[in-house]
Amino acid sequence: MLSLAARLLCLRVSGCCGGSRSMATVVSGNKTSKLVRERLQGDVLRMQVQAPGFRPGLVVLQVGDRDDSNLYISSKMRAAAEIGIDARHVRLPRSATEAEVLRSVQAVNQNPAVHGLIVQLPLDAAEPIDTQNVIDAIAPAKDVDGLTSVNAGRLSRGELAGCLLPCTPSGCMELIRQTGVSVAGKHAVVIGRSKIVGAPMRDLLLWSHATVTSCHSRTHDLPEQVSRADILVAAAGKAELVRGEWLKEGALVIDCGINHVADETKPSGKRLVGDVHYASANQRAGYITPVPGGVGPMTVAMLMENTVQSAWRVLQQSQAGR
């Protein structure tokens, strides 16, 4: 049974051709992320009542100048400004060395006005840099991307209260909650096992008591694995990999993929698609997230959520210590 909020947020697309089956309920990340951002705006106002002049502080560190990173960071800066988070975009040139990146991370770690720090990935550096070494230099309490080994380890053990959750998987869980579908006891299939999406997604579903299958590039017979999923999270980075015919009837489908494909009908000559073939999946799924407008905006919203959470913790500690 859907809650009223879930019904408002999930747009039911009715009657497909022939009327044999209605199409999936579209789970909107645009709408859900807006609600999250509005709630956070209220939180920041409440913080300022408790501690006049206090603002959550966020730093987004970028190495190089990738177009996709520029786009994602500008969404993050916009969301932060709207909520009242004091966000700063720190740019290092492509020529930056690992030692220079580490020095920037350490400087932010030591700045008490900053409650959250992320290093936008991938690093666009001329010389090779050990990405995990840079990420692990972030103070775990400021790791609002949830990517340090400390936070990832806590999540993998189910110690959810003590850790900051990675933004994309946390946004996927929020979208699943919006549908009203319960996770406990369900069979969830996650395609992909990266540190940023697939692995933490598997952990979150597992500790929400799903039975989880983790698929990757060596998985045999992916369609067979997918056909068992009550809940499918696709994060492979392969355009339209999952076909509607693979899905269990009524499945909840969360599509993390962000892939550009050629499209001569568009002025840009390209179009954004997910890892799921939307038109065919829409005929078979019970719920589906669109691309764009699904998981992407939730990633931005959950970064804001983690930053506000991290700032609350600091504020409470400082007030308890007075």
C-beta of 106 vs 217, nearer to ligand NAP: 217
Residue 186 known to be catalytic: no
Q: Do 289 and 29 form a contact (C-beta atoms < 8 A)? A: yes
Q: 172 Cβ partners below 8 Å, 6+ apart? A: 201, 204, 233, 254, 256, 295, 298
C-beta of 73 vs 295, nearer to ligand NAP: 295
Q: Which two tokens stand for residue 273?
A: 């698609």
Q: Which does 75 bind (CB under 5 to 8 A by kind): ligand NAP, ligand LUD, none?
A: ligand LUD
Helix (H) or strand (E) holding 270: strand 270-273
Q: Which two tokens stand for residue 190?
A: 């996650």
152 binds ligand NAP (CB under 6 A): no
Burial class, 194, CB count within 10 angstroms (exposed 0-12 / middle 13-18 / buried 19+): middle
72 binds ligand LUD (CB under 6 A): yes
CA atoms within 13 A on the CB side of 189: 23
Q: Which of 76, 142, 186, 248 is catalytic?
A: 76
Among 6, 117, 189, 191, binds ligand NAP (CB under 6 A): 191
Return the sign of the alpha-carbon dihedral for residues 61, 63, 69, 74.
positive
275 binds ligand LUD (CB under 6 A): no
233 binds ligand LUD (CB under 6 A): no
Q: What phi, psi does 259 have (nearest 5°)?
A: -130, 135
Per-residue mark of binding to ligand NAP, 35-54 (x: CB under 6 A): --------------------
Per-residue mark of binding to ligand NAP, 200-239 (x: CB under 6 A): ---------------xxxxx--x------------xxxx-
Our measurement of the distance from residue 44's CA atom to the centroid of its chain's CA atoms, rounded to an integer in Å, reads 21
Count the neighbouring beta carbons within 10 Å of the beta carbon of residue 173.
19
Q: Which does 116 bind (CB under 5 to 8 A by kind): ligand LUD, ligand NAP, none?
A: none
What b-and-e string marks burial along 283-292, b requiring 16 or more CB atoms within 10 Å of the CB? bbbbbbbbbe
129 binds ligand LUD (CB under 6 A): no
Least separation in angstroms between residue 302's CB and ligand LUD is 9
Q: What residue ranges bind ligand NAP (CB under 6 A)?
A: 168, 191-194, 196-198, 215-219, 222, 235-238, 241, 256-259, 295-296, 299
Instruction: Report the catalytic residues.
Output: 76
